[in-house]
Amino acid sequence: MKTENKYNAIVIGSSSGGMDALRKILSVLPKSFELPILITQHVSPSSDNYITQYLNKLCKLEVKEADEKEKIQVGKVYFAPPNFHLLVEKDKTLSLSTDSRVNFARPSIDVMFETAAWAYGSSLIGIILTGANFDGSNGLKIIKDFGGLTIAQDPKTAHSPTMPEFAIAATKVDHILPINKIGEFLSEL
């Protein structure tokens, strides 16, 4: 018996080693994947959009940098632009902010996770991947508190295990998965 998907969006946070981890997840998702994906990857403020161009060539979904006031659409992957926080508004549009760094980062994973939790409530999936700091752990806890589904990359499969370790310590994560199983898990939801 097939049940209707109760999720409406996915947020992913990554840092050191994130490009490879994101490639492993996004490249396995089918063109028919029905959830929008919002990603904050820690990058240098002066980065170009190489990561979105690279992933767009490898993925069946459209991968792009988020634009101010853009309406979130299914089948698209939105990246926080370098040096901007990515926020999700209640009306399911995106906002960009140059407010102060949070957890030493702009874009900050916590900022995106927290605003997405407020906008989507229990219909949100939050995923923490590889990274060398604690950004995202509080945001993942908030997603869990709102009833969303939480996933952490198994730290043993992370380039930098610190971020998933902090997330696992901050909240009772629903699933701890090796990086090569996360895309498959999302496809089966």
Q: Which residues are known catalytic residues?
A: 15, 42, 135
In order of 8, 86, 130, the CA distances from 33 in angstroms are 11, 22, 23
- Nearest CA to 55 among 17, 26, 16? 26
Left if phi > 0, otherwise alpha if psi is -120 to 50, otherwise beta: which for 24? alpha
- Range 165-174 burial, b when 16+ CB lie within 10 A, else e: bbbbebbebe
Q: Which residues contact 116 (CB under 8 A, 6 or more apart)?
A: 9, 11, 38, 88, 124, 126, 143
CA 146, 22, 64, 16 torsion: positive or negative?
A: positive
**How many alpha carbons lie under 13 Å from residue 165 in its C-beta half-sphere?**
11
CA distance 94 to 189: 25
